[in-house]
Structure 1
Amino acid sequence: MTIDTLVVLAYFFFLIAIGWMFRKFTTSTSDYFRGGGKMLWWMVGATAS
């Protein structure tokens, strides 16, 4: 294996680990896009465009 392959694999596993650690913060895609229901309507509209 070259160093390039090792760097790409390390980056891939790093991203998987970060996603696995933060999986409990979002319960659904609807909550994600609405900010958990805690954001004002205009904030959600401004970030969705």
Structure 2
Amino acid sequence: MILHLKQRFVSKFMMMIVYKLSIIYSIFIEIWLFHFGNFFPNFKSAYSWK
């Protein structure tokens, strides 16, 4: 039971890390597209979901 709870905690922790990394990654993508958006208007419209 304790191992199961620990596994659940670790999986939640990993999900939180992945979620935060995806947010940071999307922010970097938006910064990059803000600088080079005039070259890639299609990518800019596709990644402006935030």
TM-score when scaled to structure 2?
0.48
RCO greater where, 1 or 2, for CA within 8 Å and sep 6 or more? 2
TM-score when scaled to structure 1?
0.49
